[in-house]
Structure formats: structure tokens, C-alpha cells
Amino acid sequence: MKSVLYLCLLLLGLQVQGQQQEQQIHHPAEDQSQADGENLPYVKLAPSNADFAFKLYQQISTESGDRNIFFSPLSISTAFTMLSLGARSNTLRELHKGLAFNLTQIEEQEVHEGFRHILQLLNDPHREVQLNMGNALFVDNQVELLQNFLDQVKNFYYAEAVSSNFQNPPEAIREINEYVETKTHGKIVDLVKSLDPETVMVLINYIFFRGSWERPFSSFNTRDDDFFLDAKNSVKVKMMHKNKDFNVHRDENLSCWVVEIPYKGNVTSLFVLPDEGTMKQVEDALLKETVSIWLRSLKRRQIYLDLPKFSVSGSYDVKSLFEKMGVTEVFSDQADLSGVAKNLLLKVSKAIHKATVDVRENGTEAAAVTMIEITPLSLPFPPPPHVSFNRPFLMMIIDKSTDGMLFLGKIVNPTAKEG
């Protein structure tokens, strides 16, 4: 029997406040190209990470039914790519394929260098958003990691290696859960309920993001409204309202509205509102090429925007999702993780991911602000379009410095807490 490795893929999202930026969305990849830097590893990595994000979304969507979806593609890909440093032979090939890495376009070394640069950019202490991403290895004190693996996970992923006593499961669980709770600022508690008796290592990736909209919604304009779950059923929500200029695109081919609401600090969000009955059509077209077209097509215009306040979370069995996507060997007794530890056969027994998001008018928890905004009167014709997110919609949160998909979700019911 193989000893097992347990991956806890955590993501903590977000408390936000909202409005609009002055310039069109900025494309780091394009800027780098102009500066002859298009071969930088993190730039070359962005298309693969986007492909993986939407491939995983499609898999989750087929199983989610009418439930909310919310997860961090970047958290999951970071954890499994870090693990791939210890994978060999077919196990490694399967991981690369599942994570959408095309090694004819990007070398294996560049993949890890790209993630190192992403971690550096995301964790920049000078950013205006609170954004932290990190990795940790809880390792049984009887296990000796191979020095090369240890050096690489520290060098590329800044991973902390923590010696733990897995012969005392309650103590190991407490230690891991305390780490998780601290790193997610108390948003994710008691993540690990139990451990397989054979567990010798737990790998964790976490993201915490708290962002403020560039211009917040006013709570004075928030009121009770209907959110239509389907043609026959609705729930009451707190609906935020704003009548301002936004970067907007109307996609007539896919029958949806795309609205960009940026945060301070080089992070932006896209909210996608399919017309009634077209959610499946939009989901099926959810590819990096589609999102790239949306970003290029955004135009600044005045709209009446309605956006619900919501707080939802999602929990996912990543092992099951990966197996359905063709990544099976790393979870089986055929797993080759011989590059991780000395004289120890390993496989991944469990991989879980939990994410939570909180969207509201003002993401600053202990602050008050008084703002009186005066705008010139405009001619009444034609009236601005009314884009009301009062039915199921998609959302994505993108880090503009890396083109990284931090969060991806579908809000089917803003009042349902668990996805």
C-alpha cells in the first residue's frame, strides 16, 4: 500500500466594493510583447492557465446542476504544478496534459519560473488590494523529503515545509486547520475534518483577496429586489444600483452583456449576464478566446446597473474532477511521485478545494466615508441601457499584472451560501 499525500487547495475570496476605472483594461501580455518581452515565462504561461480554468469550469458545470459555482483556477493549478516537481514518467505527462501545459510551446522549467513570477507579483506588498497567495507542506516527521524537491518547492513556490506528527491525527488536523484559518483571515475554518490513516503529507495552497471597487456603490441605493432563479421562481435580494459610465460590451452572437467593474490595485472583474435562456450557450463558449474578445470589445458607456449583494462559497472534490478530465495515475497505486521523498512510494489520496466570496457595496470593514457626487445633467434621449443582474450570471476576477484568473464563478442563487 502506498502512503498518501493529501492536497488541500484553499482559496479565500473576497470582500469588495464597486465601480469604474478611467482607462480600458490593460493587457500585460501585449505590453510585454511591445517591449520584446513576450517570452517571459509568466506571459507564456497565461494561455495555459486560462485554458485550464475554463476546462475545469466546464467539468464543474456539468455536475453542478442549479447550484452556485465559485472556485480559484489559479489556486488549483499552482498546487498541482508544485506537486509535479516530484512526479515522473506517465504521472508527470498526465499532470501536464490535465493542467493544459503544451511543452512544445513552453518548457517545463519555464512553467515553474512562470509560477514563481506570478507569486511575486500577486504578493507584492505595495499593491492597493490585499492579495496573498502561498503554499505549505505539512510533512510527517518520519518522512525525509528529497533535497532537490525541497529546494525547488521553496525556490519556485516559496513553500513552507512544516514537520508534523501524523501518528497523532487530531494534533495534525488542529495544526493544519489553524494554519488555514490564519492565512485566510478566519474565513475558512475546520477545513480538514479527518485524515486517511496512511497520510504522510498535506500540501496546501491558499489565496486571500480583499478588494475595494475603484468607486464604491452607495448603500443608500441598495434596496430589496427580486432575483429570478428561473421563469417561475424568485428570491429576495439586496440589490445595489448605480447609474454611471462602465466598460461594457454587448455580445450579440452569444446574447449576453459583459460589464467590467475594476478594483483598486490592478485587479478587475467581469460580470457576464446572459439573456434569459442563453446561459448554456454562453457557458459552452467560455474559452480564453471568448474572454479575450470581450476584453478587447469593452467600450465606455453609461448604463443603469443593478448588482446583487451576495456571499457564496463552493467546496469541490478535485480528485474526482481531475479523474474525469483524464488525470488518474497520480491518485492510483501506479502513481510515480518518486521525486518527492526518500524510499517512499506516494500517491494523492484526496484533493479538496474550498472558496468563498462576499460581494457588497463597501469592502473596507472598519471605515466610513461621506461622498457627494455631482454630475451634469444629460439629454434624456436615448436612455442608457439597463443591465440588471437579477437572474443567473457569471463572474470572473482577473489579476491584470499576470493575466491570471484568480476566481471564476456562476451565481445561480445569491441567497444560497454553499455552491
- Residue 249 pLDDT greater than 60, yes or no: yes
Mean pLDDT of 48-64: 95
Q: Residues 227-247: pLDDT tens digits? A: 999 988 999 999 999 999 999
Question: CA geometry: angle at 405 spanning 23 and 93, to 5°?
Answer: 145
- Is the domain spanning 219-309+386-411 CATH 3.40.50.2300? The answer is no
- CA nearest neighbour of 158 among 125, 136, 184: 136
Q: Provide the pLDDT for residue 297.
A: 96
Got the DSSP string for 115-163?
HHHHHHHHT-TTSSSEEEEEEEEEEETT--B-HHHHHHHHHHH--EEEE
Q: Provide the pLDDT for residue 264.
A: 85
- Is the domain spanning 3-211+311-358 CATH 3.30.497.10? The answer is yes
- CA nearest neighbour of 18 among 303, 234, 290, 211: 211
Q: Provide the pLDDT for residue 3.
A: 57
Q: How confident is the model at residue 381 (pLDDT cuts 50, 70, 90)?
A: low
* C-beta atoms surrounding 280 within 10 Å: 10
Q: Provide the pLDDT for residue 4.
A: 54
Mean pLDDT of 103-110: 93
Specify the domain boundaries for CATH 2.30.39.10 within the chain: 219-309+386-411
Q: What are phi and psi for residue 349, nearest 5 degrees?
A: -95, -25
Window from 2-6, 87-91, 263-267 with minimum mean pLDDT: 2-6
> CB of 112 within 8 A of CB of 169?
no
Specify the domain boundaries for CATH 3.30.497.10 within the chain: 3-211+311-358
Strand 267-274 versus strand 256-262 pairing type: antiparallel
Strand 15-16 versus strand 393-399 pairing type: unpaired
Window from 5-9, 19-23, 112-116, 215-219 with minimum mean pLDDT: 19-23
Window from 22-31, 291-300, 309-318, 405-414 with minimum mean pLDDT: 22-31
